[in-house]
């Protein structure tokens, strides 16, 4: 077995173990109840033995229900659990043990389904902490030593080599490099760092060697603050009250009164118990979890994963969507968007020279240039020699000419003149949120490459679909600069944007919208989005492109990274709520008929159980139809 299979295999084993634990109660209750029925039918053994089996099944399977019911009684709350306790106690009181066991079995199956759907373990905090290195290289006594991060102190000089994650918050005191800050700030492009630049724990050093003066360690770092923000936000989420519990507030007293009337009308205690049994809210209890389970399965077939019914209950109510830019509206990777030529050069000529110069470059912009060349089918030869100036550009010799690719300052330092007209072209690219890279050959400026984070296709259509589902406002949140944010916002057609945001600022914006009375959905893909995802009424993660942290923190995951999936989720949310209400209507119809027959003494306890079970079957069939419900109508 491959070593990489270890964690995945462990997770699968844990999942199977969880399912097995949830099935223990229903299986044990079913076996004991079936054994009791067989012994009674075939007259095997003493009567008290088969009665005892049914009693044990009832007490074993209904223990949590009894516990919850008595707890609610002490709290003076009327819930489904209270109703079940009353019905089961009355049933046991007249010696009808098997009907009580059958009710408990139905409740146990529904409870197992609901528990598995709603209470999956989240590992977001552990995954967040995985971004922080456990050790650091520190300069001490004229040499370099590796120490645990926990032993770092303020003022320590930490050495970070290319490909390593930065272990502290601090300031660069030596070296230069490109640092990928997307996990913390959400910036789409790596940021050039040099002496005096601030850096964050958990970010990735991509190209050069850095020496960093430690300013924050441990719990004080930005990454640690993100962890605490996620913990706090997850703790603030309150469950929505179940429709069945609200109904039983007045339904239980009514049924108890009807049971008393049935007893006085017939003089038969079994008639009173039959009233309680036929009105037992089994169908009410499973009306919500069965519909939710079917809806979740339907969405899963369309690569939309939902972590619980509470989020489906809120989904169709979303009126303000906050969407992270990088990795959500965009792919989160630089791409050559345009080639502007000077002096009658062809775009392919300029691109070929740029590819030759960047062939050995490790810079993300250099990789984007090489990807563009390969996309054009260019054969890229080896340069005769190559050198790089970190954060500025590259120089390469090829076939007797000197090629330079970089920013205007880099080319001007070599004596090349950058005219005002060229600066004007660079400005126009900047207004579109693009980074302009100049290309020169010897002393001649040939053109520029415009590079930007690529916008995902179909974004305007997805925006229209969300608006059609009732979303009143869509705001883009990003750590990028305002020019880049404005350009992307214009192109995709969102209502507003907030730029240069850190994780805590994104979360604060979510809190502000909620304070204004809005039902807020947050869509993101990175570690920096986790606090906002956790606090939002519904957090939605981009699955394929997203980090494990975002996926585990979010309530909904779009595995195919299609933003239109949010509209599908909202549409299915509305369908599920409609089906839950329909299920409750079915339950009420069965209750009205069953109660009417019980009051006049036309039902025995066994028939009452069969009748109320028929109501449960109807609800299950109604919910199961959601599995085959087609998706929302496509938007033009």
Q: How many CB atoms within 10 Å of residue 377?
A: 7
Furthest-apart CA atoms within the chain: distance in Å: 112
- H or E element in which residue 524 lies: strand 520-524
Q: Are 110 and 286 in contact (CB under 8 A)?
A: yes
- 3-state SS class at 138: strand
Cα 296 to chain centroid distance, Å, stands at 14
- H or E element in which residue 606 lies: helix 605-624
Report the C-alpha gap between 11 and 8 in whole angstroms: 5
How far from 514 is each of 21, 234, 320, 478, CA to CA, in Å? 38, 15, 9, 19
Cα 351 to chain centroid distance, Å, stands at 40
Beta strands in 231-283 (DSSP E): none
Report the C-alpha gap between 372 and 274 in whole angstroms: 76
The pair of structure tokens assigned to 20 is 């097995």
> 239-252 burial string, b = 16+ CB within 10 Å, else e?
eeebbbbebbeebb
Strand order in the sheet with 143-148: 143-148, 135-140, 157-160, 210-216, 169-175, 198-199
Residue 324 annotated among the catalytic residues of the structure: yes
The pair of structure tokens assigned to 477 is 């949140």
Q: Are 288 and 581 in contact (CB under 8 A)?
A: no
Report the C-alpha gap between 333 and 364 in whole angstroms: 8
Each as own residue / partner, the long-range contacts of residues 379-382 (CB below 8 Å, 24 or more positions apart, any chain) are 380/352, 380/355, 380/356, 381/356
Count of H-run helices and E-run strands, the chain: 23, 22
The residue among 461, 491, 178 whose CA lies nearest residue 337 is 491
Q: Are 541 and 557 in contact (CB under 8 A)?
A: yes
Beta bridge partners of 336: 451
Strands 435-441 and 496-498: unpaired
Instruction: DSSP for 461-478, please give it.
Output: HHHHHHHHTT--EEEEE-
Residue 420, judged by CB atoms within 10 A of its CB (0-12, 13-18, 19+), counts as exposed
Q: Is the dihedral of CA 461, 464, 469, 472 positive or negative?
A: positive
Residue given tokens 């004080």 in the structure block = 220
Active-site pick, 324, 453, 537, 555: 324
Report the C-alpha gap between 303 and 300 in whole angstroms: 5
- Residue numbers annotated as active site: 324
């Amino acid at each position: 077995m491959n070593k990489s299979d270890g964690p995945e295999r462990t997770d699968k084993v844990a999942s199977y173990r969880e399912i097995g634990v949830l099935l223990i109660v229903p299986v044990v209750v079913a076996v004991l109840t079936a054994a009791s029925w067989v012994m009674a039918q075939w007259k095997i053994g003493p009567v008290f033995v088969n009665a005892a089996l049914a009693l044990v099944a009832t007490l074993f399977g209904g223990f949590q229900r009894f516990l919850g019911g008595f707890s609610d009684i002490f709290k003076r709350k009327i819930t489904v659990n209270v109703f079940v306790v009353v019905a089961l106690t009355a049933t046991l009181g007249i010696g009808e043990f098997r009907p009580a066991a059958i009710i408990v079995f139905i409740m146990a199956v529904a409870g197992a389904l609901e528990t598995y759907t709603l209470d999956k373990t989240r590992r977001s905090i552990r995954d967040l902490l995985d971004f922080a290195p456990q050790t650091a290289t520190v300069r001490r006594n004229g040499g370099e030593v590796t120490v645990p991060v926990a032993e770092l102190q303020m003022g320590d000089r930490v050495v970070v080599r290319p490909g390593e994650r930065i272990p502290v918050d601090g300031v660069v005191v030596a070296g230069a490099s490109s640092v990928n800050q997307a996990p913390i700030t959400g910036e789409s492009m790596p940021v050039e760092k040099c002496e005096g630049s601030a850096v964050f724990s958990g970010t990735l050093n991509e190209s050069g060697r850095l020496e960093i003066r430690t300013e924050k360690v441990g719990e004080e770092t930005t990454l640690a603050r993100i962890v605490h923000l996620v913990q706090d936000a997850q703790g603030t989420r309150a469950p929505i009250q179940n429709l069945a519990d609200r109904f039983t507030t007045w339904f239980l007293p009514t049924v108890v009164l009807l049971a008393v009337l049935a007893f006085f009308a017939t003089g038969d205690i079994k008639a009173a118990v039959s009233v309680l049994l036929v009105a037992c809210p089994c169908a009410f209890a499973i009306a919500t979890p069965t519909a939710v389970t079917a809806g979740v399965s339907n969405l899963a077939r369309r690569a939309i994963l939902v972590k619980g019914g509470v989020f489906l209950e809120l989904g169709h109510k979303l009126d303000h969507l906050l969407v992270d830019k990088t990795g959500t509206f965009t792919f989160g990777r630089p791409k050559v968007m345009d080639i502007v030529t000077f002096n009658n050069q062809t775009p392919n000529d300029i691109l070929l020279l740029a590819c030759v110069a960047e062939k050995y470059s490790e810079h993300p912009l250099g990789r984007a240039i090489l990807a563009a060349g390969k996309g054009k089918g260019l054969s890229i030869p080896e340069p005769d020699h190559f050198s790089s100036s970190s954060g500025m550009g590259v120089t390469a010799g090829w076939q007797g000419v000197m090629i330079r690719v970089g920013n205007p300052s880099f080319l001007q330092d070599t004596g090349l003149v950058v005219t005002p007209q060229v600066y004007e072209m660079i400005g126009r690219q900047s207004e579109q949120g693009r980074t302009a890279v100049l290309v020169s050959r010897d002393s001649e400026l040939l053109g520029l490459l415009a590079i930007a984070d690529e916008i995902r296709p179909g974004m305007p259509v997805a925006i229209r679909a969300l608006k059609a589902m009732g979303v009143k406002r869509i705001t883009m949140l990003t750590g990028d600069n305002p020019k880049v944010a404005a350009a992307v916002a214009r192109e995709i057609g969102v209502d507003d944007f907030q730029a240069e945001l850190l994780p805590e600022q994104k979360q604060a914006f979510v809190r502000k919208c909620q304070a204004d009375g809005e039902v807020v959905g947050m869509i993101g893909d990175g570690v920096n989005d986790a606090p906002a995802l956790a606090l939002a009424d519904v957090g939605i993660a981009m699955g394929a492109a997203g980090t494990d942290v975002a996926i585990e923190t979010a309530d909904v995951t779009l595995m195919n990274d299609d933003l239109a999936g949010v509209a599908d989720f909202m549409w299915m949310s509305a369908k599920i709520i409609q089906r839950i209400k329909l299920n409750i209507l079915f339950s009420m119809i069965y209750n009205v008929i069953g109660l009417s027959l019980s009051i006049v003494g036309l039902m025995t306890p066994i028939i009452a159980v069969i009748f109320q079970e028929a109501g449960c079957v109807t609800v299950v069939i109604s919910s199961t139809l959601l599995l085959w419900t087609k998706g929302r109508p496509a938007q033009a």
